[in-house]
Structure 1
């Protein structure tokens, strides 16, 4: 656990994001999860923040990671398909009192109708979608700006 949780940003990624770069590159781009982590690390470094970067394909593990982020500056969450199905993730965000920015690589509103609903959005500070990995950088910028306020 980081020494200064209030200067720590958790970037949490859900199912299938470990396949970035090879999974439907026309939708998700060619950047890999390692590229996303590098972008997040450089953005955190620029703001003097610590980074915890995780990916899991398991809903329960994602709930645990959210709970462990309690007390941090905030969470950048790409819950992937769990965005549209998981009340448990929304409950974990509320229970832990997290400052969450929901991120999606693709524009979910330009895709299938089932992707238009999010259980995360109502408990998130904001949502960034359709900007590829730039969305992660922007989300960290938002969380960093909350530290100054």
Structure 2
């Protein structure tokens, strides 16, 4: 079975507690379960991870080049600041990356409108809550 890495950045371990009016009440464990079910229906397997550390995310992106057919990436706040993640994604191309955000980053503070990930991603899905992960898996499956 083909594996998709699903990588989550800083503070996403606090989902369900952190600003539920923006991020909803679903926990990251609940999203991981949703992703496993969605991937299985698509004939895929998931490797679901979260880190608050930028370098760890870079290492996982590099690892995905050898172990995955694609990446779903919710880089969280690093989306707007991380040249390191941008460069890591470039380094593993043509491995497809789909950027995901629970909230609509374009309807929030101006500093969230810019993504360092988007220029090198196959696409971006934002504003649909946990469903965005399912949509990202469907998008990746359609490209494989």
TM range (shorter): over 0.9
Q: In structure 1, list runs of 5 or more residues that go unmatched.
A: none
Q: 1:79 is matched with which residue?
A: 75
> Which consecutive segments of 4 or more residues in structure 1 shift more than 6 A?
none
- Counterpart-to-counterpart distance in 2, 1:109 and 1:50: 31
Q: 2:115 is matched with which residue?
A: 118
Q: 1:46 is matched with which residue?
A: 41
Give the 3-state SS of the residue equivalent to 2:52 in structure 1: coil
Confirm or deny that 1:144 pairs with 2:141. yes
Confirm or deny that 1:90 pairs with 2:86. yes
- 1:73, CA displacement in angstroms? 1.5
Aligned length: 142
- 1:43, CA displacement in angstroms? 0.7
Q: 2:23 is matched with which residue?
A: 28
- Counterpart-to-counterpart distance in 2, 1:10 and 1:37: 11
- Counterpart-to-counterpart distance in 2, 1:113 and 1:19: 23
Q: In structure 2, list runs of 5 or more residues that go unmatched.
A: none
Give the 3-state SS of the residue equivalent to 2:129 in structure 1: coil
Q: 1:131 is matched with which residue?
A: 128
CA deviation map 1:111-133 (0-9, x unaligned): 00000000000000000000000
- Counterpart-to-counterpart distance in 2, 1:134 and 1:49: 17
TM-score of the pair, normalised by structure 2: 0.96
TM-score of the pair, normalised by structure 1: 0.93
